[in-house]
């Protein structure tokens, strides 16, 4: 897979929403970036906190937008959550507030989805959330079930505007029970480390590309990955001074990241040192 001659091994973990696409539309240049990775045998994985869809659904959606990748290139918080739970308590039971992506992943990892006395209450993204489920979940958590969140994103951008995210629904359960959820999605190292290992890369060979400081960049910084912030999603250059941490590199979009890599023969431009690379791109 890594036939990059003598160049150092490296690969990309790439956030999807705000990086590859916005709503139903591909962000210009994203397809060229992905094509470049494929032509140059650079390993990559699309990483999403959204647990609604299965990896196959995600791959099919990307193909419709013109990014033709296999499902092995998709890693969701639903998959990370199911793997984590199967590791913690093999063949356990879960009450699920969420949709197909999460249910499928749990089933694939030997979990039974139940509505009575579960080991875990698992909360993911979805549009089927209702108060009946919340009431049931609250009673299960107070009865000893562990509260797991696929992610804590407070909201998600949609075409029509912002909608409440998984974190908002989890907050309701936390407030009602006084129990804090354990979250698996970005920026949790549970998901980000699993994704790195899936690519077979070392920490300093891994580049996280994302549009959200609180998840993509924070997680990348905490894990010691190289980090690339794109301004094609939720973060604007003016937002950066508010944060105590910063990305190693920042570019308008994947189009400019493709240019940067192309100019360097698809070798990582941020070696030999992060400091030198920051100076080179003026961040
Ligand atoms: Mg994003």
Q: Which residue has the tokens 């984590």?
A: 84
Q: Is 186 annotated as a binding residue?
A: yes
- Label residues 192-204 b or e (16+ Cβ within 10 Å = b): bbbbbebbebeee
At 276 the pLDDT is 47
Measure the CA–CA gap between 8 and 15, rounded to whole angstroms. 23
CA of 272 to the centre of ligand 1 (A): 28
CA of 17 to the centre of ligand 1 (A): 4
11-49+187-281 and 78-183: same fold? yes
Inter-residue contact 184 to 148 (CB < 8 Å): yes
Q: Is 87 annotated as a binding residue?
A: no
Residue 188 has which token pair? 């949790």
The CA radius of gyration of the chain, in Å to the nearest whole number, is: 19
Measure the CA–CA gap between 104 and 98, rounded to whole angstroms. 11
At 37 the pLDDT is 96
Residue range 11-49+187-281 in CATH 3.40.50.1000 = yes
At 159 the pLDDT is 78
Sequence-distant (6+) residues with CB within 8 A of 138 are 173, 176, 177
At 1 the pLDDT is 45
Q: In 10 A of CB 247, how many CB atoms?
A: 25
CA torsion, ordered 120, 125, 129, 132, to nearest 10 deg? 10
Q: Is 119 annotated as a binding residue?
A: no
Active site members: 15, 17
Instruction: Determine if the pTM surpasses 0.95.
Output: no
Most distant CA pair in the chain, distance: 59
Inter-residue contact 77 to 191 (CB < 8 Å): yes
Q: Which CATH superfamily is domain 78-183 in?
A: HAD superfamily/HAD-like (3.40.50.1000)
CA of 15 to the centre of ligand 1 (A): 5
CA of 139 to the centre of ligand 1 (A): 33
Q: In 10 A of CB 245, how many CB atoms?
A: 12
CA of 269 to the centre of ligand 1 (A): 23
Q: Which whole-number Å values give the CA distances from 240 to 49, 51, 71, 86, 142, in the listed order? A: 22, 28, 34, 38, 40
Map out the domains of the chain as residue ranges. Answer: 11-49+187-281, 78-183
Q: Is 17 annotated as a binding residue?
A: yes
Measure the CA–CA gap between 11 and 18, rounded to whole angstroms. 20
Q: What is the pLDDT along the chain (283 residues), one digit of tens a residue?
A: 444 445 568 999 999 999 999 988 999 999 999 999 999 999 999 999 999 999 999 999 999 999 989 999 999 999 999 999 999 999 999 999 999 999 999 999 999 999 999 999 999 998 888 999 999 999 999 999 999 999 999 998 777 888 899 999 999 999 999 999 999 999 999 999 999 999 999 999 999 999 999 999 999 999 999 999 999 998 999 999 999 999 999 999 999 999 999 999 998 877 555 554 555 556 5
């Amino acid at each position: 897979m890594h036939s990059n001659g003598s160049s150092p091994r490296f690969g990309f973990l790439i956030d999807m929403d705000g990086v590859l696409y916005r709503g139903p539309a591909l962000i210009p240049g994203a397809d060229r970036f992905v094509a470049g990775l494929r032509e140059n045998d650079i390993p990559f994985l699309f990483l999403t906190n959204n647990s609604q869809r299965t990896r196959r659904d995600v791959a099919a959606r990307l193909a419709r937008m013109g990014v033709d990748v296999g499902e092995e290139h998709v890693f969701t918080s639903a998959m990370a959550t199911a793997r984590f739970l199967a590791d913690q308590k093999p063949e356990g039971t879960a009450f699920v507030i969420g949709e197909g992506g999460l249910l499928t992943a749990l089933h694939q990892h030997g979990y039974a989805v139940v509505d009575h006395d579960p080991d875990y209450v698992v909360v993911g993204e979805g549009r089927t959330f209702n108060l009946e489920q919340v009431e049931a979940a609250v009673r299960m958590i107070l009865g000893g079930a562990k509260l797991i969140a696929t992610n804590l994103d407070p909201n998600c951008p949609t075409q029509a505007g912002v909608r409440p995210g998984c974190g908002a629904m989890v907050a309701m359960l936390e407030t009602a029970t006084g129990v804090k959820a354990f979250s698996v999605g970005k920026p949790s190292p549970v998901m980000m480390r699993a994704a790195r290992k899936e690519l077979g890369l070392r920490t300093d060979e891994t580049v996280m590309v994302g549009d959200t400081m609180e998840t993509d960049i924070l997680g990348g910084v905490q894990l010691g990955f190289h980090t690339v912030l794109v301004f094609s999603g939720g973060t604007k250059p003016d937002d950066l001074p508010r944060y105590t941490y910063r990305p190693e590199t920042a570019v308008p979009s994947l189009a400019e990241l493709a240019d940067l890599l192309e100019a360097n023969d698809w070798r990582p431009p941020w070696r030999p040192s992060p400091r030198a690379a920051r100076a080179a791109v003026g961040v």
